[in-house]
Each structure stands twice: as structure tokens, then as C-alpha cells.
Structure 1
Amino acid sequence: MAKILCVLYDDPIDGMPRSYPRDDLPKLDRYPDGTTLPTPSAIDFRPGDLLGCVSGELGLRKYLESNGHTLVVTSDKDGPDSQFERELVDADVVISQPFWPAYLTAERIAKAKNLKLALTAGIGSDHVDLQAAIDRGITVAEVTYCNSISVSEHVVMMILSLVRNYLPSHDWVRKGGWNIADCAARSYDVEGMHVGTVAAGRIGSAVLRRLKPFDMHLHYFDRYRLPEDVERELGVTWHDSVEDMIGMCDVVTINCPLHPETENLFDASMIARMKRGAYLVNTARGKIVDRDAVVAALESGQLAGYAGDVWFPQPASRDHPWRTMPHEGMTPHISGTSLSAQARYAAGTREILECFFEGRPIRDEYLIVQGGHLAGTGAHSYSAGDATGGSEEAALFKTH
């Protein structure tokens, strides 16, 4: 029997909800590309409930314990004295979410002698040292596509919020004002603007589809070019480098995975290549941009606004400069953990566990690392190596 160590974010401050705003979720038959939603043998939760926090347990306890396994759930994940560090030494499976990641560094993997599966309840496995997992023969899997549309909706919301100056305008209402001139002084229409996505995979292409009705000019960079019929349908222009694209764009949205090739991609030099007064939206990973370069660009006016829900490390310290920099639209990492998305990634997590315990193949699109190699989605989207360096700073959230 196996020990499953599951790291989830904290419960709501006032405790688990006794009721929810809606009684049900829309029924989806499949994802937009035709692939099927998660297909576990059963689920032990009500779709629409809060599953991603500690008490939600991803709806896994009944299934795991009825099969003789041990489930340990905690939010205490950072530092040498954390529960995660203590429990990791004999864990067979580690489950974590990108929103409150349990960073599986090479040092932690070396301590986890029994570890066989690192499972991301969501999308994005950069919190795992993929090179160390490759070297140890550990399987790394994630629930591909479970929250891609959720994130793309969040991107569109953030673009509109920045360009239309929504959040500062809302603040005037909360303060009792009617300061129309102050609100309008930084408000524009997106119509006619040029917007480009760094990567046009499931999330990036969904962003483009959702922005097309706004009559924006669409651009993308991706090392894998979209089919010609898709480019024609969207009226989108492909660029063979990020540098070539960003100089033309009023809005840039980052939708690529974090790996050694994309780490710190948007440094001061890259941001300087953007149009003055452009907007940058990042719901991919915080480490793809240079923290201090973003702050400096907002202060100088090189960037008119920055929004995102990804930070590095996560959680970000309370004195992180992105919390107080000008013209920001930051949120904690929530874009992919809507109640709708939670139902899908909880079901996908159970599907992967069922395959793992029953000796059945895990879906190819769920695989990141298997058999000592990048596999499935991992082979398409990642490069070998490690992007977890510096994650120990997450412990500062407790003190700073």
C-alpha cells in the first residue's frame, strides 16, 4: 500500500462554505480540441464544491483509504521544519497544485527514497526539478487541459481590466468618489490594438479566439506553428521570434511553460524592445519575467500596466514589490482554480492515480516525465533541466 502526500492551499478564512452561489456547473462533453475530459471510474465529490484546499482534499480520501492507501494532506510546505518536508521521506506519491506548489527540488527528491509519482493537480510541472525526476526515473504527470480555458478567460479579463483602467476606477467608487477624469486619463479601447501571445498552445490559442471578436490585430510566437487553416480562421500573424513580435504589440500575453529556455525571458532588455506604453499580462509563471525589471518598467512608463496571477516563489512574500508597484492588476494564483476547473483537475488526479495503482498506462497527454525521459506533453512543451532554483524563498511568506 502507498503513502500519498498531498499539498493544497489553506481553507477559507471563515471555514469551508456551507453553500455556494450556484447549484450546479455547466456540463461539458469534451475539450475544444475534441479530447475527452478526465475519465476516472468514479468521483466522491460534488462538482462545484471547493476541492483545492486542505479540507477539500481533491475528493480523494474515500477512494484512497478504501483501497488501503494512506493520505496525508497539508498546506505546510516550505522550510526544513514543514510537514511536507517531514512526510516526504517515505511518500510514494506527491500531489501538488501550481497555485500553492510543493517545490520538489533535487535535494528533496534525494530524500524521498520511495517517491515514484509527482502529480500536478492542474497544469504546469515546473515546481518539480524535471532533471532530477528524469535521473531518478520518477514519473511526473499533470492534468493537461483541465483549466486551460479557465486561464484564457482570466487573461482576457486582465487585458480588458488594464487597458480600460478598471481596477483604479472601481477603487474610486469604493472611496465614495465620482472621479471620471481620473479614471479616463488612463483608459483606452482595445479595438484596433495589436495583441501577441508568447506561445499558442491550448491557452494561448484560446486567448486568441476570445480576443478576435474585439477586432484586435492578433499575433503569436510559438516554436510549433499553428495549422494554416487555423491561422486563416483567426487572421493571426506568426512570428519566428519573441523579439520580432513584441515590438509590434500594444498588449503581450505570456502563455508558455516555465523551463530553462523560458526562465527570465522577459528581462530588462526584452521589455525595452516592447512599444512604450504596452501592457504585459502573465498567467504562465512568474519566473518567466524579471521581477525588478517589471517594477522599473512600470515606474518609467515603458510599460503602461502589468497584470498576472503568477509569482515566484509562491506564495510571494508580503513585501514583494509586485504588491505595491504602480499600474498593476495582480491576483494570487487563481486563474486555473475556479470551482469549474477544480472539478476537472480533481477528477483528472483520480484518473491518473487509478492508472498508476492499477498498472495501466497514464494518458500520453498527461505525461511530463516517464522512464527517465521527457514524455507525452512534456516532450512537446518542456526542456530538460531545472527551474526550481530560488524556491526556498517561499518560506519568507511566513515572516515577511
Structure 2
Amino acid sequence: MAKVVCVLYDDPIDGYPKSYARDGLPKIDRYPGGETLPSPKAIDFKPGTLLGSVSGELGLRKYLESNGHTFIVTSDKDGPNSTFEKELVDADVVISQPFWPAYLTAERIAKARKLKLALTAGVGSDHVDLQAASAHGITVAEVTYSNSISVSEHVVMMILGLVRNYIPSHEWVTKGGWNIADCAMRSYDIEGMHVGTVAAGRIGLAVLKRLKPFDMHLHYYDRYRLPEATEKELGLIWHPSVENMVRVCDVVTINAPLHPETENLFNDKLIANMKRGAYLVNTARGKICDRDAIVRALESGQLAGYAGDVWFPQPAPKNHPWRTMPHQGMTPHISGTSLSAQARYAAGTREILECFFEKRPIRDEYLIVDGGKLAGTGAHSYSAGDATRGSDTRAKLKHHA
């Protein structure tokens, strides 16, 4: 029997919910493009409940323990004395989330001699050293598409929030004010603006589709060009490089995976090539942006606003400069963990576990690393390498968090 270690974020500060704002979720059978939703043999949870926190357990305990497996769930993941570090040594399976990542560095992988499967409950496996996982024959899988639409909705919300100056305007109300001029002096319409996405995969394309009715000019950069029919339908302009695209855009949204080629892509040099007063939205990964370059650009006015819900490391220490920089709309990493998304990625996690334990093939679209090399979605979206460097910063700064 196997030992499964699952790292999830903490419960709400007032305790695990006894009731919810809504009674259920809309029924969705397929994702855009036709891919079916996760299809485990059964689930042991009610869709629409909080599954991504420690007490939610992704709805997995009954299934795993009834099959004789040991199931450890914790939120304590940072540093050599953490529960995760201690339990990892003899774990067969590790389940982690992009929102509360248990960084599987090469050093941790070397200690985990029994580890066979690193499973992401959600989308994005950059918290795993993919090079080390390949070398040790570890399968890396994620629940592709489970929260892609959730993230795309969050992107649109953030674009509107920045350009319309929503957050400061709301704050004037909560302060008891009626400061219309203060609100309006940084508020614009998005109509007629040029918006571009870095990567036009599931999330990037969904963002463009949602922005089309706003009568914006739509641009994209991706190393894989979209079909001509899609470009014509949406009126998309493809650019051969990120540098080429950002020069013409009023709004740029980052929807690319993190790997060595995208790490610190948005640095001082690239940001200087953007229009003065452009907006940047990043729901992809924090390390795609140079932390201090973003702060400098907001302070100088090169960027009119920055919004995102991804940081590095995660969770971010209290003194992270993105918490206090001007003209920002930051959130904790929540874009892909709505209650709607949780039902899908919890079901997908169970589907992958069922395949793994029953020695059935895992869906190709869920695979990132398999058989010692990038596979499935991983071969299309990632490059071999390690994006976990510096994750020990979180443990070093734990007392600030």
C-alpha cells in the first residue's frame, strides 16, 4: 500500500464552513474545445464545497483509506522541520497545489527515494524540479484545464479593475468619502485599447474570447501560432516575439507557464519597451516578472498599473514589496481555486490517482513528465529545467509571513 502526502492551504480563519453562499454549481459537461471534465469512478464530496483547504482534503480520505493507503494532509510545508519535509522521505505520492506550493526541489527529490508520482491539484507544475523528476523516473501530472476558465475570468476582472481604477474608488466609499475626482483621474475605458496575451493556450485564448465583446484590439504571442480560422474569428494579430507585441499594447496579460525560458521575462529592459502607462496583469507565475523591476516601473509611471495573484515565493512574506507598491491590484493566489474550480481539480486528482493505483494510463493531457522525459501537455508547454530555485527563501523568511 502507498503513502500519499497532500499539501493544502489552511482553513478559513473562522473555521471550516458550515454553510455556503450558494447551494450548488452549474452543470458543465465539457470544456471549450470538447475535452471532457475529469471522470473518476466516484467522488466523495459535494461540488461547491471547500475542498482545497486542509479540512477539505480534496475529498480523498475515504477513497484512499478504504483502499489501504496512508493519507497525510498538512499545510506545513516550508523548511527542514516542516511536516512535509518529514513525511516526504517515505512518500509514494505527493499532491500539492499551485496556490500553496510544496516546492519539490532537486534536494527534496533526492531524499524522497520512494516517490513515484508528483500530482498537482490544479494547473502548473513549476513547483517541481522537472529535470530532477525526469532523472529519478518520477511521473509529474496535473489536472489540465480544470481551472483555466476560472483564471481567465479573473484576468478580465483585473484588467477592468486596473483600467477603471476600481479598487481605489471602492476604498473611498469604505472611508466614507465621495471623492469623484480622485477616482476619475486614473479611470479610463478599455474600449479601443490594444490588449495582448503572452501565450495563447487554454487561458490566454479564453481571455481573448472574453475581451472581444469589449471592442478591444486583440494581440497575442505564442510559439505555436493559432489556426487561421481562430485568428479570423476573433480578429487576432499574431506577433513573432514578446518584444514586438508589448510595444503596441495598452494592456498585457501573462498566461504562460513558468520554465527557464520565461523566468524574469518581464525585466527592466522589456518593460521599457512597453507603452508608457500600459497595464500588466500576471495570473501565470510570479517569477515570470522581475520583482523589483515591477516596483520601479510603477513608481516611475512606466506602468500605470500591475495586478496579479501570483508571487514568489508563495505564500509571500509580509514585507514583499508587491504588497505595498503603488497602483497595484494584487490578490493571494486565488484565481484558479474558486469553489467551482475546486470541484473539477479535486475530481481530476482522484481520476489520476485511480489510474496510477490501477496501473491504467493517465490521460495524455494530464501528463507533464513521464518515462524520464517531458510528456503530454508538458512536452507542449514546458522546457526541461528547474524553476524552483530560490524557493527556500520562503523558509528563511517564515517568521515574516
TM range (shorter): over 0.9
Report what 1:179 is aligned to.
179
Cα distance in 2 for partners of 1:292, 1:220 equals 25
Amino acid at match of 1:115: L
Cα distance in 2 for partners of 1:204, 1:382 equals 16
Report what 2:167 is aligned to.
167
Deviation at 1:395, TM superposition (A): 2.0
Report what 1:196 is aligned to.
196
- Asked if 2 retains the 8 angstrom alpha-carbon contact of 1:134 and 1:371, the reply is yes
Amino acid at match of 1:311: W
| Residue 223 (structure 2) pairs with residue 223 (structure 1) | yes
| Residue 237 (structure 2) pairs with residue 237 (structure 1) | yes
Deviation at 1:29, TM superposition (A): 1.0
Report what 2:297 is aligned to.
297
Cα distance in 1 for partners of 2:87, 2:48 equals 30
SS in 2 for 1:52: coil
Report what 1:22 is aligned to.
22
Amino acid at match of 1:382: Y
SS in 1 for 2:305: strand
Cα distance in 2 for partners of 1:357, 1:272 equals 51
| 1:381-400 matched pairs, under 5 angstroms | 381-396=381-396, 398-400=398-400
| 1:66-215 matched pairs, under 5 angstroms | 66-215=66-215
Cα gap change, 1:274/1:189 in structure 2, threshold over 3 Å: closer, same or farther? same
Cα distance in 2 for partners of 1:142, 1:153 equals 21
Cα distance in 1 for partners of 2:364, 2:142 equals 10
Q: Output one character per residue of 1:170-203: Cα deviation in whole Å (capped at 9) or x when no partner.
A: 0000000000000000000000000000000000
- Asked if 2 retains the 8 angstrom alpha-carbon contact of 1:52 and 1:58, the reply is yes
SS in 2 for 1:399: helix
SS in 2 for 1:331: coil
List runs of 5+ in structure 2 lacking aligned partners: none
Report what 2:317 is aligned to.
317
Amino acid at match of 1:319: N
Amino acid at match of 1:85: E
Q: Output one character per residue of 1:52-107: Cα deviation in whole Å (capped at 9) or x when no partner.
A: 00000000000000000000000000001100000000000000000000000000
SS in 1 for 2:269: helix
Deviation at 1:396, TM superposition (A): 4.6
Deviation at 1:124, TM superposition (A): 0.2
Cα distance in 2 for partners of 1:250, 1:395 equals 37
Deviation at 1:398, TM superposition (A): 2.9
| Residue 43 (structure 2) pairs with residue 43 (structure 1) | yes
Amino acid at match of 1:325: M
Amino acid at match of 2:373: H
Deviation at 1:397, TM superposition (A): 5.3
Cα distance in 1 for partners of 2:294, 2:260 equals 20
- Asked if 2 retains the 8 angstrom alpha-carbon contact of 1:6 and 1:96, the reply is yes
SS in 1 for 2:197: strand
TM-score of the pair, normalised by structure 1: 1.00
- Asked if 2 retains the 8 angstrom alpha-carbon contact of 1:51 and 1:57, the reply is yes
SS in 1 for 2:72: strand
Question: Identity of counterpart residues, as a percentage?
Answer: 83
Amino acid at match of 1:302: Q
SS in 1 for 2:85: helix
Deviation at 1:394, TM superposition (A): 1.5
TM-score of the pair, normalised by structure 2: 0.99
Amino acid at match of 1:167: I
Amino acid at match of 1:271: I
Deviation at 1:315, TM superposition (A): 0.5
List runs of 5+ in structure 1 lacking aligned partners: none
Length, aligned pairs only: 400
Q: Output one character per residue of 1:330-386: Cα deviation in whole Å (capped at 9) or x when no partner.
A: 000000000000000000000000000000000000000000010000000000000
SS in 1 for 2:392: helix
| Residue 323 (structure 2) pairs with residue 332 (structure 1) | no
Cα gap change, 1:332/1:90 in structure 2, threshold over 3 Å: closer, same or farther? same
Cα distance in 1 for partners of 2:22, 2:395 equals 36
